[in-house]
């Protein structure tokens, strides 16, 4: 039996960084993403969002890829939100940006990442999402196209 322990910190924003995740929408969206992920066998360790982006710490299963997990969560949640039964939660069509960031997380820093994700509101009182994103890009050696 294979044993895997691969933690990935995902970050992505709403399309055009629109501030479409309202205080009313946030708990409903997070609850839906969590329950849908359980149905798909995706283990979300920790997640939280701000008005224009989301952070997730996911433990990949042995048959899961980084890209497939992102695709399943992003695509299904946007589709679900745009369904007629959920139109009272959003004003316009909801979309996630096409790109995402996925960063591997060592067990030695997993608790720091969990704390960071849980404290999104606090972080964004001092820093915009763009500043946060640029910091992650630099810290992880990503180059902007």
| pLDDT band, very low/low/confident/very high, at 1 (cuts 50, 70, 90) | low
Angle between helices 66-82 and 25-39 (to 10 degrees): 130
Nearest by Cα to 134 from 143, 123, 122: 143
What the block records as the tokens of 27 is 């708990």
Q: What is the pLDDT of residue 102?
A: 96
* Contact assessment for residue 46 and residue 114, using Cβ atoms and an 8 Å cutoff: yes
pLDDT at 95 exceeding the cut of 90: yes
User: Do residues 9 and 103 touch, judged by C-beta distance below 8 A?
Assistant: yes
**Scanning the structure block, which residue is given the tokens 């924003």?**
13
Domains along the chain?
6-133 (3.30.70.1290)
Residue 87 has pLDDT above 80, yes or no: no
Band of the pLDDT at 100, cuts 50, 70, 90? very high
């Amino acid at each position: 039996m294979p044993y895997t322990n691969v933690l990935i910190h995902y970050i992505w924003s709403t399309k055009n960084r629109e501030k479409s995740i309202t205080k009313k929408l946030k708990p409903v969206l997070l609850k839906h993403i969590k329950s849908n992920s359980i149905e798909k066998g995706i283990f979300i360790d920790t997640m939280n969002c701000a008005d224009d982006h989301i952070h997730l710490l996911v433990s990949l299963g042995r048959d899961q890829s980084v890209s497939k997990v992102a695709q399943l969560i992003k695509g299904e949640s946007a589709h679900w939100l745009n369904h007629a039964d959920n139109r009272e939660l959003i004003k316009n069509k909801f979309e996630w940006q096409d790109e995402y960031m996925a960063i591997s997380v060592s067990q030695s820093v997993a608790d720091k990442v969990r704390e960071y994700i849980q404290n999104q509101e606090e972080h964004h009182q001092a820093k915009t999402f763009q500043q946060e994103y640029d910091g992650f890009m630099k810290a992880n050696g990503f180059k902007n196209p």
